[in-house]
Structures are given as structure tokens and as C-alpha cells.
Structure 1
Amino acid sequence: MSAGIFIIAVSLFSTSARCAINWTATPFNPPSVPLAIRSPYLSAWLPQWADTGGSLSGNWPRFWQGDTLGWAGFVNVDGESYNFLGAPSVPNTGFNTAVQHALQWTSTQSMFNMTAGPVNLTVTFLSPIEPSNLINQSVPFSYMSVQAVSNDGDGHSVQVYSDISAEWVSGTDSSLVNWTTAAQGDTVIHKVQLQQQTLFDDSGDRIQQGAAYYATGDSANMTFQTGQDVVVRGQFINHGVLLNTQDTDFRAISDDWPVFAFAHDLGTVPASGESDIVVFSVGHARDPVINYTLGLGRSQQRHPYFLCQYPTVEDAIQAFAGDYTNALTRANALDAQIHDDASAISSNYSAIVALVLRQTFGAIEFSISTGSDGQYNDSDVTVFLKEISSDGDTSTTDVIFPAWPTFLYTNPLIGKQLLLPLFEYQATGEYPNKTAAHDLGHYPQAPGYPLGNDESMPIEECGNMLIMTLSYTQRTNDTSLVTSYYGLLDQWAQYLVANTLIPGDQLSTNDIAGPLANQTNLAIKGIIGIQAMSEMAALAGNTSAAANYSGIASSYVSQWLELATASDGQHLTLAYGNDSSYGITYNMYADKLLGTNIIPQSVFDMQSTWYENNHNAYGVPLDTRHLYVMTAWEMLTAAMVNTAARNLLIDAIYAFSSSGLNHYAYSDWFDTTTGIVEGNCGGAATLCFRARPIAGAHLALLALPND
């Protein structure tokens, strides 16, 4: 398909998507709107359906894998009730539906503008991203705020209501739950949890441990109530106030659907001017968070990082709820910084980056250990990542790698804390393989693999660890990873020296495509990894090893070019010797990220031209075996090619993202001809690739070193 046809196709698909909604969406209407995303177990989205759209009023938010999350909102205006959140049915009330007329989202916020009769509402969902304050980042809570303004020049009596259901703790509606409501200082907190809990049990991607929380500020104008959904909602709709009563008939989630509600009376909203802002805080927390191996049959229960500052979860909630104004200011500053940096590349790129940032941070959790005295050890901070949706592994090395640009750009220390659990485990000597581990177990368990039976991707993972370690060290001048784990790094580099130039029948990170021998793209990752080891050896003062590794890498690149270039000299092959094959050589990105410059610029130029001439409506296929691609690999590629090819790849991802063809929490795996998400999205969520942290690769251009 020519570039001209490509542009037309994008335009047509964008127009089709716009026809499905009746509100203004800025920058575009995404497949699913992020609402509250702060951890692997706090991940609420609003799907956008191709035929009907997905207004905030009239649709239930959903967990990333599709479970309904009961989250309802009403506003009473002069005695008339309007639903602005969720799709509740409340018999014998006759409430109205607020009309959504605008949606705008940034890296941290999703803002809905709605009309409820004579007042307009602004409903803002803020999931703070706090890379400069990691204790704040570790708090697994999110905000929803509501503000009203008159739209007819008259004053109006306004009350605001919201509740969550017990669906926030389990996707199994027959599960038994209990709950409490209590004040914590100037905050009132609903807490709901499973009656029977199992530590570290992730069932259906829902944790069977901890509690969901819903909180708001206490005042004389705030009322609360817990009880059956239709009873509590009906009370507010009919009276504009709740009863300050607690239902203590603990039961199953679907047994008279218990909900946990708050209402605020805003008094009279003036004819001109805005009402006070009503703030609700929602979250899911547990302690401990991770069961981590110490090797040799020992394990360690690790705790939420924020508990080193706050004595209890409730204390953290109170501080979080009271910090909304400051959190919003910080979020606006981060949004502006990212928007400015990304817009310098293109407006389409800025939109893509904004869509994926919350989802990337939402896959990680910060943990601390306790000392022998039982006190939290805040000098031992590590970060664990859940491989959301593809298989749920803990700290998967080749998932951290594509997410790496986001952490390198926002705060490289997070990257170090992500690598530490992998390094520390393999340094125990329990892991028997001489290559880097694929992962640490199934989230939130991290038992390691004493039998060495993790998924086998030896070149992939050795290259990833060497590249990420050097990039962190370069960006921070902190050589602690190099000096502490030099033996492991050297061991992995030696494996690459022996195996990467002529790769055996191995898996790469694209394991869905199966193993393949002599993979061009896999080989170059290993070669760059060898060069990375050369530079780390130099940092460690081992000049002879540095020279040796550098010489090997240089020799291998020359041989690789001979083996991997098609006979017509027009492109690199997917596998050596197969001129009819090709693939996206996204691993070459590491050469640009590290500034190792071992690949001639002519190779980047050759690949740029090839991509420009060989693409479909939604991008360049991953390789000649399939028509699909993953956005992460396209974006890594966009960060290393010429401007024309870069814009082509970015615009293809934008076209997929804005097409209106999908309604899942942002999925990165799709067909380049149809734009349809791959995998069994209607069945097993593990095959759908939704809400994955590899979307962090979309910040690949921002992570490149400044010239």
C-alpha cells in the first residue's frame, strides 16, 4: 500500500470512529477510557463500544479483563435526579440520565463534561503518576472529583452521590464479603473485603486478599449509607440525602448487591461560578503484597512501600484524600511536561503517550522488607511488575524491557528497583541456568525457578539485562548494579559471545510466533548486549575485558550484516539466508538508546526505506509469518528510523488506537490490515493482551539520550 493510500485509509477509519459517538473526544475517543488505574488490582476502565459509544452515564466501568465494577453516580438538581456514572436500575424512581458532551484525557486524567438539566458537571478521574515521590506512587488509590456549574443563569440546589459495589473485590459474584464504615480523622472510609482470603492468590487476575476502599471528606453536609443497591440509591434519588446507617447483614456480592455510598449536599450552586469540588477516593490495598524468594528454600513476605510512612492503610487513605488539590497540581505539571516533550515529535505521538502512561505504571507495585526488629526497612525498596493479561508472570524480564523507556524517562531509579529482584534472586546461586531468568513466578508469588524450568529465552533475556543495566548506569552515573552483580553480567555476556551470532532455534520475546533459528533481530540484541558488557567492564576497571568484548561485538556486527542482509541489499531478513523474509528489527533501538553506535547508519537508513515501502493501513507486520504487529515493537522501531518512517509508524499506531474498532483496555497486539485486536478477547483474557505494561515502549522516543 502506498503512503498516499495509507493516509486515506487512516482518515476513513477516524471518520468512522467519530460517527459512533455523540460527544467531542480530545485527543480522540480511545478503545477504553482509563478511570482508576494504580496497581495490578486497581484497574478500572470505561469500554467504548463501536456501535453505541461508551458514555460515562449508562455504562458500567470494568476491570481490565472485563469484570464489571459497580461504580454509580447521581446528582440531584432542584429535586430532579440524574445518573452520571454507571448503569444502575432503580425501580420506582424515574431518574434521568446526564448527557455527556465532551471527553478529554491526559497522561494522568480523564475528564467528562456532562449536562444534568440546568447544571453542567465536570467529572474528573485522576490516577496520579508520581515518579519524583515514590512513596506517593506506591499508594494504590485514585481520585474521582465532581463539580457543578449552572448553565441557565439561575442558582440551583445540588446534591452529589456516588457508591461502589462489592464487585471491586472479586469477579465471582457468589463470593461472601463483609464491610465496615469508619471515620479516620477528617475522612470517612468504606472498607469491603472477602470473608475468606488467601494470601498471594491471584484468581482470574483478581487478588483474593486485601480490601477495596471508598472514601470521602467528612463534613456536616456529607452523609453515608451501606446496604442493598436499589435501597441506598433510591434513598438518595428520592430524598437527596443518605441515612448514616450501616447494613451488617454480610452476604454474597450478588445477594441484594450491597453498595457503599456517600452523598454531599453542595447547597445552592450560584447563577455564576462553580460549586465546591466533591472528591471521592477509591483503591485496593493488601499487606503483604509479594511473596519473594531468598533462595535455598527461604522466602520473604514484602510489604507496601507506603507503610513505612503511614502506620495503617487508613492513615494513607486519609492523607491521600486530603491531598487532592496538591496532587492535581502535580499531575497537571507532569501532564504538561509530557505533552510538551511528546508534541515536539508530533501531536499523534503525544496522544499515544498520554493514553498508555497510566497503564504502564498500573502494572507495578513498590515493596519493602522488615528487619529482624519487625520495623520496615525503607532502604530495601524493590519494584515488582505483573505481566498483565499475557500470562500473569512476576517481573518478566522481556516485559520490563519494552516498558523500560517509560521508567528511564520518568525516573530511572524505578528501573533499578525493577531489576533488583531479578539480580538478587539469581545472585543467590539457586537458579541453575547460566543465562538470565525469564521471570520470578506467577504474580504475586515470586518463588523463582530452582529447577531452571522458566520459559526459555536465553539470548533474549541475557541481552535485555545487559542493555537495561548499562542504560540505567549511563543515565544516573550510579554504578552499583555493575559493581554488585558484575559476575552475573559477565556470565550472561559470555553466553552471548558463544551463542548470539548464530542463534539456535530459540524463542524471542514474541513467543506467540514460536521459536525460529538464525533470527536476525534476536542476534543483534545479543550483539548489542556484548557491547554493553564492554562498557560496563570499563566502568568496573577491567580494561582488558572491555577491549575483548568490544572487539567481539565489532566483529559480530560485520558478520551479522553479511548473514542478515537480503541479497538485493534492500532489507534485513527475518532469518539468515531467507531473502523472501523480513521483520521489524526493533532490537536495533538499543544501539540508539545506549549510544553504542556499533550498527552503521546505513543499516538504519535501509530499514527506514523498507518500512516506508512495505506497510499496511495499520503499520508494518511484525514479520513475514503473520499480518499482526505489536505497538511496542513498532514504537521502538519508530525511535530509530528516519523522520518519514517514524511518522508513518506513529500514525499507524494512532490510527489503530483511534479507529473505534476495539473496546478493550488498551491492547497492543492487532492485525495491520484490519486494525482488529488479536487473541481470544471474548474468551480467555490471557490471550487478549490488554492493559499490558509493554505499552511503556511508546515512550521510546522520549527515552533517547539528548544530543
Structure 2
Amino acid sequence: MLPSLLYSFILYFGLVSCGTPTPQSIPLAVRSPYFSAWLQAPANFVLNNTLGWAGFINVDGTSYVWMGEPNVPNTRFNKTVQQSVTITATQSTFVMTAGPVALTIIFLSPVEPTDLVNQSFPFAYMAMSAKATDGNSHKVRLYSDISGEWLSGNDDMIMNWTTSTTGDTIIHQSQLENQTALVDINDRIQQGSSYFASLNASGVTWQTGQDIVVRAQFINNSVLLNTEDNKFRDINDDWPVLAISHDLGTVSNTPQTAVIAIGLVRDPVIEYVTAGGGTQNRSLYFWTRFSSIEDAITTFLGDYDNALARATKFDAQVVTDAGNANLPPNYLSLVEWSIRQAFGGIEITVSKDSTGAYNSSDATAFLKEISSSGRTSTADVIFAAWPLFLYTNPAIGKALLLPLLEYQATGQYPNKWACHDLGPAYPQALGYPKGNDLFAPVEESADMLIMTLSYAQKSKDTSLIKTYYNLLQQWAQYLQENTLTPSSQYSADVFAGMLPNQTNLAMKGIIALQAMSEMATMISDSSLSSTYATTAKTYVGQWQTLATAADDLHLTYTYGNSSSWGLLYNLYADKLLQTNIIPGSIYDTQSSFYSESQNNNQFGIPLNTWNTSALTGWEIWMAAIVNDSSLQASLINDVYQYLTDGRSTAPFPDLYDTVSGDTAPLFYRNRPVVGGNLALLVLSQSSSSNPNTNSSSGTSSSPPSPTSTGGHSSSVETLASARTVSVVFALVIAVTVSALF
């Protein structure tokens, strides 16, 4: 076991059971597809890559470890005892004791969707607060470090590093000596620099060097030497670490706090195909405000108190909305556990103009299909995460749609249907000039029409419809000719394989035709609106006949196979758009059928007749539209139970077995699709009352206005709140999943 492992908090925090389960993995610093740190056992990135991150506290000369599994020869240190962990939409807060001192650690990954600069900045906070618990005063010093494992999944790579102590900050920077731009290996980028920084205040010291040497220096002497090891070497060669120590001085019952910023920055972040087959390198949007990374880090650190207040306000809004009395109690937890992960799967980018200046009006976002295929901006994955963007800021949804719309409007994609994604390997978005992307024509065409309309409805901005009207009509025409009896093709559930006449898929296409009718109405094209409305209405009747099983008790998975059935989660689009094109009898029939089917599986309803697999997002989508409150609660509780039963330590894995609760090994974890778990929130808020509604410009909107913002204190009493949870971990139990890629 490597000495720099960030290991299970169970091992060194002495967790107490507080009676409420947590997810299998707790987010620590989750900001982008390549900057994603989770507390696991041991802590991995996505595909079993370890990240080195250690922490100590020294109280009156006695050291305690509060993070990591450090093996430091010739030293003696104790272990902290954990009291609680609290998880909100933006923060993971750990409260522990180190002798007579209470230590509170807040891991804050800012979620600020209405400020594209803040949302795009790939940094997170770690705030460490200490206070005495025995009525006396104590000398307290804090320590933390990171290793080169943040840079690559290959520990044999050579790294180098520098430390800057000028100005208001101490900044450790490290990077691979030999980088490969715009290439990732096993979901790890081989480009960019990691940063570990703090304000350069009195009592702050630093050091770089071999892990056991630097850590022993702090454990034995309570201070670092402000010296740099300049022997650049492999990540695993004496394990170089970058460390910072804070002397809090004498601490009594008033908390004293130290803040560290940690991030991973690369530039460019995306290579995007442009008209005529050219390419464009795009940068993260935060560069529109800052001229240097040092300036950005200094501003970020100085803004911690405000950032915490904004995060607390956002968290309160989520609690108000998802904790609505009309929604099952466990639903709030699913929402809180989804938001950071979902936003961590996208990057908001900007281009440069002919002068080299950043063009702040050109904001586009790209999504990485993490741990499933690695594709760039897969339309059906954006669709699966879509409720998150409608709830938080539809402008980000627009930014995700724009690259897909822009690319296909140039005519470089030769097919008449919408493309599946923008490229097989993120972060390259180079398209498919041969049209040889994954064959899912009805799925992707319908997704694009549904998302474009829902964006316009939520934002009151019809610019996408007006600008890309011909392209939208092209996709609608394809659906008119092909959706009623779709040929053999993939749906969003690619692992289920290619099948013809899929009931759920055909229904989505019909709803999309009605969506095209609604969009035509928005721009006063009454003739086209009437045409597509008539077609959709006609198709619904024919589809219902084709899809109804012989016993009239359910709809089939594929036409003509009365013994088959599947989860009709695409009904959600009908409710989302309020098209009301699907008869109410379908909702009644399927709700009754699923109520019976659900009783046979401990963890939810399978996707179809032929296996017992399920996707958490589709379970929640069904919960959003069934007309049986008991069934709704069961679906939500089944997903909640799956996530908290301790069978997997992966970040929110979304593909699992409904009978055993086992998770797919290595795949379908940490994916942005969990944004779909906000489906009930979106339906519970009308577009007129949604506090996150965007302006017609599509670049930003007013932040949410919670009904009560509450206060935030770093005291142990406040952080150990009613939503305190305990950690339950277990070994990963593999389940065989075929046809994954």
C-alpha cells in the first residue's frame, strides 16, 4: 500500500454510527471530468487510480492524522476520532476530535451555475477549522499535502514542480515533464498543471520533497522548512509531495480557520471542429476575467467566505425545493448527491477572436461521457442529465446544445438525422465527416428537438429555434418518416443492443414531433405547426395499437412481442414539455403494471424483460411521472437503498442489478447523467415560478433566491446538523455487464 494513499476515513476517523446512510463515495473536490476526487476505500479517481492527499493536526505538540494512510518511519502520531459527516449539494463536511480540539474540514466544490466564470474555474476549497472543547486554550497547527498522482494514472511519468511565495499567496504547481495535449488515458488527462495553494499569511509554511521526509518534519517539529526539493523525478520515485502548514496559534472556543485551494488547470481544454473542416482550440470560460492563473487563485482564496455563503444559500434552495413535503423524503438526498457529480462532467469554454482576446459572448459547454465510452457531448447523455440544467440555469443547457447545433448546421455531418456525439475521444470534438457515429438516429434526433423546445420554454429564449430552424425541421422530417416503426438501432440504453420497433423509442420520436409543432408555433409558422401536430396525433393512436400487449395490461418492449415489457421512461418528455400527446390511459396502465413488477425486485424495476439491470436515472424519471404516490416513493427509496447499502465504493454508479444491488465493475460511475435525478424538481416548478429562469441573452441569469438562506457557522455544533450521516463502505462486488464499451 503506497504511503501517499488517501484512504478510507473509516480507518483513521473512528466513525460513529449516526443512523443515516451515506452514498458509497463522498465527493471531496469535484470540478471537471479530470479533476474529481472522492473519498473511497481506498480513494480513487474513476477507474481505480489513487490520489495522494494527506492531512495532520498538531495539538500542543502531539500530532494526529485526519486524512490519509501515512506510513512515516521514526514518528509517532495518533488518530482523530470522527463525530459526523454532512453532505449537501456543494459541500462535504467532516467533524472530528484530536484530543481536546474539535477539527472541522469543509470540502467545498462551488456550484455557481449562474456565474459562468465561477462555475468554470477548476478549483475547489478545503477549509480546516479548529476550536477547543475543554474550556482551555491549545496551540494548534495544521498540515496537508498532495502528491503527483493527481497528474496521471501512470506513476512512472516524470513530474516537475515549482513553488511561488511572492504576493499574497503560496502556490505549489506541478505538472508532467512530457505532456500530451488533448489526450486522455483511462479517463485521466495527460496535460495541465495541478495547484495546491494558500494565502501567504503569518504562520504559513511550506515544503516539497519525499512524502515521508516532509511529513516527518511536520509531525516532529510542527512546522515546515520553506524549502524546495529540486530533484525532479517519476511520480513514484520517493513520492514527491507538495505540502502547506498553518499555525493557528492559540485556539480556544472560537474557531480558527485555514483555507487551501486545490485545482487542475489545462489549456486548451477542447479541440472543436469549425465550418470548412478547420479546428478551434477552446479555453475554460474563467479566462475571460483573469489574465493569469496566479491572479485567479489569489481571487479564489480571498473569496472563500463569500463563496461559502453563496454555497450555503444554494444548498438551502435545494433543501427547500427537493425537501418539498409532496416529494418522498429520500429524494432530497439523491438530489444532493447528484449535483456536484453532474456538473463535474462538463466544461464551459470560450474561444478567442482574431486579436487573441477571449470572446466572452461565445460560451459553449462540452460533456464527457465518463467511464462508459469517453465520447464528447453525446446527445443522449446530455438529455439524461438535462433536468439539472433546467433547474439551475437553462443557459448552460443552451451552451451544451450549441456545439452540436453549430457543427451540424455547417453541413459537415452527412446524415439526415442528428449525430450521436461530437467525437469518440474527449476532449476532441472533431465530428464525423463520414457519418460513421453510433447508429441511434431516432434517439438523437428526438433528444435534440425535445431539449431545444424545453430550453425555450424554460428560458423564454427562442434564439436556438430561430437560428437552427431548418436543421430542426430536417430532424423532424426524418422522425416523421422513421419514428412510428423504427428500424433496428440503438436507443440511449446502448448496452441493450440494437433492436427494431422499440416502443419507448418510437414514443420519444412522436413526442419530438409534437415538440417541433410547438417550436413552429413559437415563431409563428402555423402551417408547419399544424402539419406536425396532426402527424403526432395520428401516430400516437397507431403506436398505441402496435405497442399494446395482447392482454391489454401493459405496453410491450418491442411491437408484437406481448411477453415483453420495458420501462417507458420517455414518458417524462411528454410531462416536461406539457405536450400531453400521450393519452392518460397509458400512464394509468403502466403505473399499475409497474406496481406489480416492482414487488419482485429489491432495488427497483428492470429496464426490460430480458435482464434485471436498471439505470438510476430512468428509475427516477419514472418516479416523476407515475400517477401512484406509493409507486413513486418505492422507486425513489429503491434507488436510495441501492446507493447506501455499501456494495460499491464508486462515485454514484448508475448501472446496477435490481435483484442483487450489484454495480457494474469499472463502468457507469461518476457520470454526469445523475443530473437527471432532478427530474421531479423540474416538474414540480412551473417555468413562470422557477427562480433560475434565464434571460433571453442566454449567457447568465439571476441566482436562485431561497425562501430562507439560513446562517453558516464553522462551529462543531452547527456542522453536526440534523442531516448528519455516517459512512458505510464495503468492497466492490462485481456484476457482469455485457456489450459495454
Question: By the TM > 0.5 criterion, same fold?
Answer: yes
Q: Distance in 1 between matches of 2:166 and 2:568?
A: 54
Q: What does 1:143-154 correspond to in 2, within 5 Å?
A: 143-154=125-136
Asked whether 1:35 is paired with 2:25, we answer: no
Match of residue 133 from structure 1? 115
Q: Which residue of structure 1 aligns with residue 633 of structure 2?
A: 647
Cα distance, 1:184 vs structure 2: 5.5
Query: 2:346 is matched with which residue?
Result: 364
State how far apart, in whole Å, the 1-side matches of 2:508 and 2:165 are.
55
The CA deviation at 1:413 is 0.4
Aligned to 1:422: 404
CA drift of 1:66 comes to 2.0
Distance in 2 (CA, whole Å) between partners of 1:478 and 1:273 is: 49
Q: Is the 8 A contact 2:14 2:80 kept in 1?
A: no
Relative distance call for 1:705 and 1:94 in structure 2 (3 A) is: closer
Counterpart for residue 527 of structure 1: 510
Which of 501, 507, 510 is residue 518 of structure 1 equivalent to? 501
Native 8 Å contact 1:667 1:677 kept in 2: yes
Residue in 1 that maps onto 2:658: 672
Displacement after TM superposition at 1:25 (Å): 5.4
Residue 237 of structure 1 pairs with residue 216 of structure 2: no
Would you say the 8 A contact 2:55–2:143 is kept in 1?
yes
Spell out the pairing of 1:68-107 with structure 2 (5 A cutoff): 68-107=50-89
Question: Which residue number in structure 1 is paired with residue 726 of structure 2?
Answer: none
Q: How big is each residue's C-alpha offset from its partner over 1:306-326, in whole Å with a ceiling of 9 and x where there is no partner?
A: 111000122111111111111
Query: TM-score scaled by structure 1?
Result: 0.93
- SS state at 1:698 partner: helix
Equivalent residues in 2 for 1:534-545 (5 A)? 534-545=517-528
1:331 pairs, out of 279, 286, 311, with 311
Tell me how far apart the structure 1 counterparts of residues 383 and 88 of structure 2 sit (CA, whole Å): 24
The answer to whether the Cα contact below 8 Å between 1:305 and 1:367 also exists between their aligned partners in 2 is yes
1:223-274, Cα deviation, whole Å (9 max, x unpaired) = 000111011000000000000011111111011111000001111111x332
Cα deviation for residue 61 of structure 1 reads 3.1
Larger deviation: 214-223 or 149-158? 149-158
1:108-507 matched pairs, under 5 angstroms: 108-183=90-165, 185-270=167-252, 272-274=253-255, 276-344=256-324, 345-441=327-423, 442-507=425-490
Deviations 1:546-601 (A, max 9, x none): 00000000011111111111122211111111111111000010000000001111
1:369 partner SS = strand
Local SS of the residue matching 2:553: coil
What is the aligned counterpart of 2:648 among 659, 662, 666? 662
Select 1:623's aligned residue among 608, 611, 623: 608
Displacement of 1:205 in angstroms is 1.1
Instruction: Provide closer, same or farther for how the CA distance between residues 252 and 519 of structure 1 changes in structure 2, counting only shifts above 3 A.
Output: same
Separation (CA, whole Å) in 2 of partners of 1:477 and 1:153 = 57
Counting aligned pairs with the same residue, the percent is 54
Secondary structure at the residue paired with 1:63?
A: coil
Contact 1:27–1:105 (CA under 8 A) maintained in structure 2 = no
- Is structure 2 residue 686 aligned with structure 1 residue 699? no
Post-superposition offset of 1:27? 5.2
CA contact (8 A) 2:479 2:509 kept: yes
Counterpart amino acid of residue 497 in structure 1: Q
Q: The residue matched to 2:274 in structure 1 has which SS?
A: strand
Of stretches 626-635 and 149-158 in structure 1, the one that deviates more from structure 2 is 149-158
Higher RCO, Cα 8 Å, sep 6+: 2
Amino acid at match of 2:534: G
C-alpha separation between the residues in 1 aligned to 2:543 and 2:166? 64
2:692 — aligned with what? none
Say if 2:285 and 2:348, in contact at 8 Å, map to a contact too. Answer: yes
Looking at structure 1, the residues matched to 299 and 251 of structure 2 have their Cα atoms a distance apart, in angstroms, of: 28
Contact preservation (8 Å) 2:603, 2:642: yes
> In 2, Cα distance between the equivalents of 1:86 and 1:312?
32
Q: How does 1:593-608 map to 2 (within 5 A)?
A: 593-608=576-591
Q: Give the unaligned 5+ runs of structure 2.
A: 1-9, 687-741
Instruction: Write out per-residue CA displacement over residues 142-170 of structure 1, whole angstroms, 9 at most, x where no aligned residue.
Output: 01111112222221111000000011101
* One-letter amino acid of the counterpart of residue 650, structure 2: Y
Residue 533 of structure 2 corresponds to 550
Report the Cα offset of residue 94 of structure 1: 1.4
User: Helix, strand or coil: the match of 1:373?
Assistant: coil
What secondary structure, in the 3-state scheme, does the structure 1 residue paired with 2:283 have? strand
List runs of 5+ in structure 1 lacking aligned partners. Answer: 1-16, 50-59
Q: Give the residue type in structure 2 aligned to 1:691.
A: N
Assess if the C-alpha contact under 8 Å between 2:172 and 2:196 holds in 1: yes
Q: Note if 1:46 corresponds to 2:39.
A: yes
**Which region of structure 1 is more displaced relative to structure 2, 120-129 or 563-572?**
563-572
278 and 61 in structure 1: CA distance in 2 versus 1, 3 angstrom threshold: farther
Structure 2 equivalent of residue 52 of structure 1: none
Q: Which SS does the other structure have where 1:36 is aligned?
A: strand
Tell me how far apart the structure 2 counterparts of residues 143 and 45 of structure 1 sit (CA, whole Å). Answer: 14
DSSP-derived class of the 2:625 partner: coil
Q: How has the CA–CA distance of structure 1 residues 184 and 539 changed in structure 2, closer, same or farther, with 3 Å as cutoff?
A: farther
| Alignment partners' CA distance in 1, 2:15 and 2:132 | 22
Aligned structure 1 segments of 4 or more residues deviating by more than 6 angstroms: none
- Residue type of the partner of 1:140? P
Residue-by-residue CA offset, 1:267-315 (whole Å, 9 max, x unaligned): 1111x332x1111111101111100000432000011111110001221
Q: Normalising to structure 2: TM-score of the pair?
A: 0.89
DSSP 3-state at the match of 2:330 = helix
CA RMSD of aligned residues (A): 1.4
Q: Provide the residue aligned with 2:739 in structure 1.
A: none
CA distance in 1 between partners of 2:166 and 2:329 (Å): 44
* Distance in structure 1 (CA, Å) of the matches to 2:493 and 2:574: 20
State the distance in 2 between where 1:384 and 1:619 align.
31
How much has 1:29 moved relative to structure 2? 2.1
Which residue is equivalent to 1:636?
A: 621
Deviation (angstroms), 1:346:
2.4
After TM superposition, the structure 1 stretch with the greater mean CA deviation from structure 2, 603-612 or 486-495, is 603-612
Post-superposition offset of 1:26: 7.9
